[in-house]
Amino acid sequence: MKITKILVALSFLFAISTAHAGELTVTGNMETTYHTQGDKTTGNPLGMDRELKFAGSTELDNGITVSVFQDTGDSLTYGNSQIMFGGVAGMFDIYVGSDSDPVDAIDDITPSAYEEANGSGSGTYTSNDIGDKAGQMGIGFKYNVPVLGAFNYKYYPNADSTKNEDNKSSGDQNGTTGNAYSASLKTDMGGLPLIGSFLDGATLTTGVAETDHSQTANVDDAYDLTAALTYSIGNFSLGVQKKLHNEGEAAAAATTDAVWYKDTAIGIAYAVNDNLSLSYNTYDSYKHNNTGAPEQETKAINVGYTMGGMTIGFQDAQTDNDNYTASTTDDTRTIGISVAF
């Protein structure tokens, strides 16, 4: 009898403590692809991507919410992590960690049925991408600005790519790097006063980032700028995005000029029904490095079909002037099957 009473009491206490401890969820995604290159040796065309995400949340007595997550890489090693305090002062969300870089989150937001134009490996886009602070430790906040929309800002005390353990710091890295910041603003054009009724369905997203990547005297910082205008009407989605990525100078300004890229992404998507969608996407990139490099151009056709938690995607992409080299091509075809759980 005593044992029964003890078990009942322990069960009640455990239930109470669990309710206050919050919730923990595990989600994930796995994708397998069949990828071929029409003008190069393909080799084994099979590939796989897998990721797990552990997320938890709770609420404090003062109404502030606390959420945390930790994801994994392909080899199930630790990836990015973040802790966020929501509703601080009833206005701000404040977060710390190595995820949620504002500019990286909008690197290409033109509509697509499956992948970005260069998302399946067609073309050589390794140095021109904006938002390259993704995966670095920083502190940020989110705030809904009246009329203008959702603002997201993140500050990096030292852009040295170090993910410190608790109670540790990365040191001065021999004074080679400084701080960085990244910010984005998403504006619902339909919500603007006076002109909003004419712009319903349109969204303007802008971003800016700057990195003090070298503390050498007379060396320019690296920076990113982007603006994307997307529009949806019925089953159609349209979008165009302009991007500028300046790598900054690696040495004194008198000896080395910065390399920079100007990119344009365009996407047109059509939802045939709730499951099937089609899109045509382009990505043009101009590299300025005083060598007269030609513009790299990628065009892609995408098909996407969803069935519950599974998506089947296809992309046929063709690139001219691959790696900014005249008369070179890089054509790919990719079939992917992904399952979210």
Ordered by start, the domain boundaries in the chain are 28-340
CA-CA distances (angstroms) from residue 217 to 3, 179, 212, 213, 251? 75, 15, 11, 12, 9
What is the predicted pLDDT for the residue at 66?
95
Asked if 267 and 238 touch (Cβ cutoff 8 Å), the reply is yes
- Return the pLDDT at 83: 96
Q: How many CB atoms lie within 10 A of CB 266?
A: 17
pLDDT for res 19? 38
pLDDT at 1: 42
* Alpha carbon distance 86, 261 (integer Å): 36
In sequence order, the 6+-apart residues with CB closer than 8 A to the CB of 235 are: 270, 271, 272
Summarize the confidence of residues 11-39 as an average pLDDT.
70
The CB density around residue 137, as the number of other CB atoms within 10 Å, is 21
* Cα 228 from Cα 133, distance rounded (Å): 20
The widest CA-to-CA distance across the chain, in whole angstroms, is: 88
The DSSP annotation for 192-247 comes to STTTGGGSTTEEEEEEEEEE----STT-PPEEEEEEEEEEEETTEEEEEEEEEEE-
| pLDDT cut 90: percent of the chain above it | 65
Amino acid at residue number 64: I
Q: Which long-range contacts (CB under 8 A, 24 or more apart) does 83-89 make?
A: 87/63, 88/64
- Hey, what are 275's tokens? 């499951």
Give mean pLDDT, residues 19-33: 82
Q: Which residue reads 């509703």 in tokens?
A: 87
Name the superfamily (CATH) of residues 28-340.
Porin (2.40.160.10)
Question: Which residue has better confidence, 173 or 310?
Answer: 310
Beta bridge partners of 71: 53
Q: Can you give the pLDDT at residue 251? A: 61
pTM: 0.86
Residue scoring higher pLDDT (145 or 18): 145
C-alpha pair distances (Å), 27 with each of 38, 67, 307: 36, 15, 18
Mean pLDDT of 144-163: 92
User: What digits encode the pLDDT tens for the residues 178-198?
Assistant: 899 999 999 999 999 988 888
Asked whether the predicted pLDDT for residue 4 surpasses 60, the reply is: no
In this prediction, residue 226 carries a pLDDT of: 98
- How confident is the prediction for the chain on average, in pLDDT? 87
Model confidence over 89-125: pLDDT tens digits? Answer: 999 999 999 988 999 999 999 999 999 999 998 999 9
Please name the amino acid found at residue 219: V
**Token pair listed for 159:** 């852009």
From residue 254, how far is each of 31, 105, 216, 250, 314 by CA, in Å? 48, 35, 12, 11, 48
pLDDT band at 200 (very low <50, low <70, confident <90, very high): very high
What percent of the chain has a predicted confidence (pLDDT) above 70?
A: 89
Angle in degrees, CA 331, 268, 325, rounded to 5: 30
pLDDT of residue 30: 94
pLDDT digits (tens, 9 = 90+) for 274-321: 999 999 999 999 998 767 789 999 999 999 999 999 999 999 999 999
Q: Give the model's pLDDT for residue 319.
A: 96
Residue 98 CA to residue 101 CA, distance in Å, equals 8
CB contact at 8 A, 250 and 218: no
- As a whole number of angstroms, the distance between CA 38 and CA 334 comes to 11
